[in-house]
């Protein structure tokens, strides 16, 4: 099989790349190793409304719920409330990813991309040192797909970069290891996303409750890999649920890993572009990766459409991708990585103190960056190291 | 040797993402381990469910 562009992985990053490239006229093949796109889900499904709307028209079919804002709870129980609507904060919609991911793949297909499920990329094809495509397994049969450019949109378990000599292996301190229950409980706040902080609750991470309507929520935990041990996330999540939602009924469970490494050194090689979690573009503070994956997909799709017809797909030509993503989403990823590196070592006392320092300040309309600014202003000593980051 | 408890595994791919030897692969609902495994133990600590275990080579 021959085409202009192979996209490996049909998550939000892959589908956006495939859609944009196909719309611009490229002959695109997108491979997905699972037999069902988007399932099983590995996500808490929260996204910013404003950011999502810039990328795709929201469809009630894949929006589970809309929230009014976020509550952040310090270890001692003190609460901060941030409203969603004014400032385009980090939350707003809670999605149904099973449906959402498939809808994005459908958009790509409608734009002309060929989608192949139960098709796993196995390695890169080469001829005389030049990349010529990928080898794959399609429902158990081997298959060669020739293309001058390969997009690695293969998520946290990405191999495409490694095949091309980019070491994307995540250090334990650069991954949040997560567990989540779909929980039914009267105590679920249907209107707010909740975040619980504390070194006992979730070392180097947090517990979240993202409501899906009718007293059901994604209640999950992320623990920093370097602070985790075998099975820590699911154990701590059970403890949390027992305390906070003792009558809670677990309707689904899932586990996963989110990269929090900050920008990696390189996301391109000759004939290769990495996008989304494969490029470790998820946000190091929130662990949110959907929006960045989609934005990177748009950039990569545009660039592929521009460069493939010209035959300019060597690493040097692909620097335009490095430049564009690092100047856009890369800026907040880099800043938030530095902030995360600092925050994961704070004690519960520090976290409580920070929360109390916001007493009497109107923060309802702030986004994450605005909130950090206020925190630095109120806690100049404790947050001295962050001052240069927050301008 | 690395043992995968397939009855525990939630097929999330987190272990694959941290393996420095690229010795792991997630195929639908199972984890494959190849000969490149250097028994570093990183994946066992990362697994959210505790489905991975390193055993002494003698037992293999
Ligand atoms: C517990 C948890 C909670 C999260 N919560 C949120 C949240 O609330 N909000 C948010 O924005 N983000 C969240 N994230 C992060 C978010 O899920 C990811 O950032 C997002 O899915 C990244 O999209 P992607 O397209 O890069 O990768 P993915 O969605 O992971 O897609 C990659 C695809 O590639 C496929 N693939 C892999 N290898 C191959 C191969 N060799 N051949 C073919 N196909 C292959 C995979 O099967 C997969 O379908 C969360 C993650 C976790 C684990
Ligand atoms: S990290 Fe654990 S649960 Fe996830 S795929 Fe690996 S063995 Fe399975
Ligand atoms: S023990 Fe180390 S080398 Fe072996 S599979 Fe796990 S992470 Fe990879």
- A213 and A161 both lie in a single domain: no
Atom of ligand 3 nearest to the CA of B40: 2
Q: Write the pLDDT tens digit of every residue in A169-227.
A: 999 999 999 999 999 999 999 999 999 999 999 999 999 999 999 999 999 999 999 99
Domain range list for chain B: 2-59
What's the rounded mean pLDDT across residues A358-368?
81
**What kind of fold does domain B2-59 have according to CATH?**
Alpha-Beta Plaits (3.30.70)
Question: What ipTM was predicted for this assembly?
Answer: 0.94
Tell me the mean pLDDT in the region A16-27. Answer: 98
Distance, in Å, from the CA atom of A321 to the CA atom of A315, rounded to the nearest integer, reads 10
DSSP state of A382: T
The answer to whether the CB of A44 is under 6 A from ligand 1 is yes
The C-alpha of B35 sits at a distance from chain A's nearest C-alpha, in angstroms, of 16
Q: What percent of chain A has pLDDT over 70?
A: 98
At A20, list the tokens. 């944009």
A164, A55: one domain? no
User: Is residue A112 domain-shared with residue A221, that is, in the same domain?
Assistant: no
**Do residues A304 and A197 both lie within one domain?**
no
| A331 domain residue, yes or no | yes
Residue bearing the CA closest to ligand 1, atom 17: A43
Domain co-membership, A75 together with A196: yes
Q: A187-190: which pairs have CB atoms within 8 A and are 24 or more residues apart?
A: A187/A244, A187/A245, A187/A248, A188/A215, A188/A216, A188/A217, A188/A219, A188/A245, A189/A71, A190/A65, A190/A214, A190/A215
Q: What is the SS3 assignment for A44?
A: coil
Cis bond upstream, residue A40 (ω within 30): yes
Do A131 and A9 sit in the same domain of this protein? yes
Cβ proximity of A136 and A31 under 8 Å: yes
In tens digits, what is the pLDDT along chain B, a chain of 60 residues?
Answer: 999 999 999 999 999 999 999 999 999 999 999 999 999 999 999 999 999 999 976 444
pLDDT at A127 over 70: yes
Q: Which residue has the higher pLDDT, A348 or A386?
A: A348
- Written as six digits, the tokens of A184 are 């039914």
Note whether A31 and A108 are same-domain residues. Answer: yes
Nearest CA to ligand 2 atom 5: B11
Q: Extract the tokens encoding A81.
A: 């409330």
**Nearest C-alpha in B relative to A163:** B22
- What pLDDT sits at residue A89? 55
* C-alpha torsion sign, points A250, A256, A262, A263: negative
- Domain identity same for A274 and A201: no
pLDDT, residue A88, reads 53
For ligand 3, whether the C-beta of B39 sits within 6 Å is yes
pTM of the model: 0.96
Dist. CA A284–CA A294, nearest whole Å: 17
Q: H or E element: which one contains A155? A: none
Q: How confident is the model at residue A86 (pLDDT cuts 50, 70, 90)?
A: low
Task: Determine whether the shortest distance from the Cβ of A293 to ligand 1 is under 6 A.
Answer: yes
Please state, rounded to an integer, the average pLDDT across all residues of chain A.
95
Is the domain of A154 the same as that of A291? yes
Banded model confidence at residue A372, pLDDT cuts 50, 70, 90 = confident
Range of the domain at A296: 5-41+98-170+263-335
Domain end: A318, A335, A352, which one? Answer: A335
- The answer to whether residues A309 and A185 belong to one domain is no
- Angle at which helices A319-327 and A290-307 pack, to 10 degrees? 150
Could you tell me the CATH number of the domain that includes residue A153?
A: 3.50.50.60
Judge whether A164 is annotated as a binding position: no
């Amino acid at each position: 099989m021959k085409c202009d562009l192979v996209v490996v992985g049909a998550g939000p990053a892959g589908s956006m790349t495939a859609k944009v490239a196909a719309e611009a006229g490229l002959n695109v093949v997108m491979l997905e190793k699972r037999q069902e796109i988007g399932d099983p889900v590995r996500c808490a499904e929260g996204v910013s409304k404003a950011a999502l709307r810039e990328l795709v028209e929201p469809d009630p079919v894949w929006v589970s719920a809309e929230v009014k804002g976020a509550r952040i709870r310090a270890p001692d129980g003190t609460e901060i409330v941030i409203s969603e609507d004014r400032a385009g904060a980090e939350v707003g919609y809670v999605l149904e990813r099973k449906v959402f991911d498939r809808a994005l793949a459908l958009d790509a297909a409608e734009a002309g991309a060929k989608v192949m499920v139960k098709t796993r990329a196995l390695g890169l094809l080469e001829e005389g040192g030049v990349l010529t495509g990928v080898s794959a397994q399609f429902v158990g049969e081997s298959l060669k797909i020739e293309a001058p450019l390969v997009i690695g949109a293969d998520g946290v378990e990405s191999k495409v970069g490694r095949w091309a000599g980019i070491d994307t292996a995540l250090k334990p301190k650069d991954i949040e290891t997560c567990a989540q229950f779909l929980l039914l409980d009267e105590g679920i706040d249907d209107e707010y996303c909740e975040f619980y902080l504390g070194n006992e609750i979730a070392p180097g991470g947090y517990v979240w409750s993202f409501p899906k309507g009718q007293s059901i929520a994604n209640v999950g935990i992320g623990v920093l890999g370097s602070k985790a041990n075998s099975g820590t996330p699911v154990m701590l999540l059970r403890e949390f649920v027992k305390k906070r939602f003792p009558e809670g009924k677990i309707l689904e469970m899932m586990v996963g890993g989110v990269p929090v490494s900050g920008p990696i050194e390189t996301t391109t090689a000759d004939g290769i572009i990495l996008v989304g979690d494969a490029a470790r573009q998820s946000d190091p503070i929130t662990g949110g990766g959907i929006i960045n994956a989609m934005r990177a997909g748009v950039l990569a799709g545009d660039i592929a459409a521009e460069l493939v017809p010209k035959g300019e797909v060597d690493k040097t030509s692909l620097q335009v991708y490095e430049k564009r993503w690092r100047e856009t989403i890369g800026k907040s990823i880099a800043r938030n990585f530095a902030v995360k590196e600092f925050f994961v070592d704070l004690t519960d006392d520090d976290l409580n103190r920070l929360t109390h320092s916001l007493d009497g300040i109107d923060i309802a309309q702030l986004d994450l960056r605005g909130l950090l600014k206020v925190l630095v202003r109120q806690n100049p000593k404790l947050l001295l190291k962050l001052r240069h980051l927050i301008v | 040797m690395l043992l995968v408890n397939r009855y525990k595994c939630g097929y999330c791919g987190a272990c694959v993402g941290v393996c420095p030897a690229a010795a792991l692969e997630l195929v639908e609902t199972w984890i494959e381990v190849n000969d490149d495994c250097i028994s570093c133990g990183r994946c066992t600590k990362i697994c959210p469910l505790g489905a991975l275990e390193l055993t002494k080579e003698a037992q293999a």
